Amino acid sequence: MEKITPFVSSQWLAEHGDHCVILDVRYALDGSLTKQDYLGGHVPGAVYADFPSLSGGQAAPDKGRSPLPDPADFAADLAALGVGDDSTVIVYDQGGSGAASRLVYMLRTLGDNAAVLDGGLAAWDGPLDTTDVTPHLSTRSVAAWPAERFIDADELTHLMNTSNTVLFDARPEDRYAGVNETVDARPGHIPSAINLPVTAHLAGGVTKDTATLKDEYAAHGTFEADNVISYCGSGVAACYNLLVLEQLGVAGRLYTGSWSQWSSDPDRQGAVGSEPGTWSK
């Protein structure tokens, strides 16, 4: 199949789904979404994938809540789900959660033909199936994570001090501002980060048109920047921003540790409030 864009519509999936591996990664941070939801109704042919175990390694304060998994483990997990080296993969969640975007970003950085079902299951207008689909084991090569698509805290600090870097925070406004922080070590955000949550990209539950998104990103100096980086709480929702950026022709980078790692280090700068604040060199 020809290379697909980072987002595909329900109509596209209805027309091409027979030639794709479809993964259901519905996920909620509070654990309220489980395989029972998948069994209650899913896109026909979709395989259930346990998002936390597939998308991240072992959480730790110095790594964040969703560090990248070991490449060999990731390859083995994908093979077990039927994702081979040449598969076209469509991933969906409940809509707007960022889970599907995280997996698709990971796959696309490895060169896979992968996309998010735009709008998630909520946007699927076809029939639902309640079968527990058994995947066909595939062959999957082990590949290292490409350094140019990911960034750690030290490199981020270096780039903020030395280059024209635009940094986006994809968390909801309240968590960005440091209001009611109940997940991470301290409230707030990385100074100078611009708040651009997943919901800012949506209209009617699906991704806004490219022209509108281009104007919105241009207002933040995105296209003149030397580096464009996205983060969130754990490196999940941030990937929505990165897929939108790819669609706009910008190769952004994921700060994988995100605020869950950054906030655990008291020596790293933080800011609170609805404004980005200033980075202190």
pLDDT tens across 12-29, in order?
A: 999 999 999 999 999 988
Distance separating alpha carbons of residues 65 and 76, to the nearest angstrom: 21
Active-site residue among 117, 123, 151, 232? 232
Class of CATH domain 147-262: alpha beta
Residue 30: pLDDT over 90: no
DSSP class of residue 25? -
pLDDT at position 280 is 86
Amino acid at 91: V
**Residues in contact with 77: Cβ distance below 8 Å, sequence separation at least 6, in sequence order:** 53, 54, 69
Render pLDDT for 95-152 as a digit per residue (tens, 0 to 9): 988 999 999 999 999 999 999 999 999 999 999 999 999 999 999 999 999 999 999 9
Residue 281 has pLDDT above 90, yes or no: no
In the CATH hierarchy, which top-level class contains the domain 7-123?
alpha beta
CA distance 222 to 98: 21
pLDDT of residue 185: 94
Picking from 180, 33, 27, 160, the residue whose alpha carbon sits closest to that of residue 102 is 27
Contact indicator for 102, 53 with CB cutoff of 8 Å: no
Contact 278, 269 (CB under 8 A): no
Please list the residues that pair with 222 across neighbouring strands: none
- Can you read off the two tokens belonging to residue 101? 């975007």
Q: What percent of the chain has pLDDT over 70?
A: 100
SS3 per-residue string spanning 124-173:
CCCCCECCCCCCCCCCCCCCCCCHHHEECHHHHHHHHHHCCEEEEECCCH
pLDDT of amino acid 147: 96
Paired residues of 167 in beta bridges = 229
Question: Which pLDDT value is given to residue 2?
Answer: 87
Active site residue 232: yes
Say if pTM beats, i.e. exceeds, 0.95.
yes
Q: What's the CA gap between 23 and 63, in Å, rounded?
A: 27
For residues 80-90, give the mean pLDDT.
Answer: 97
3-state helix, strand, coil in the chain (%, to 5): 35, 15, 50
Q: 161 Cβ partners below 8 Å, 6+ apart?
A: 279, 281
Segments making up each domain of the chain, as ranges: 7-123, 147-262
Q: Do domains 7-123 and 147-262 have the same CATH topology?
A: yes
Q: How confident is the model at residue 1 (pLDDT cuts 50, 70, 90)?
A: confident
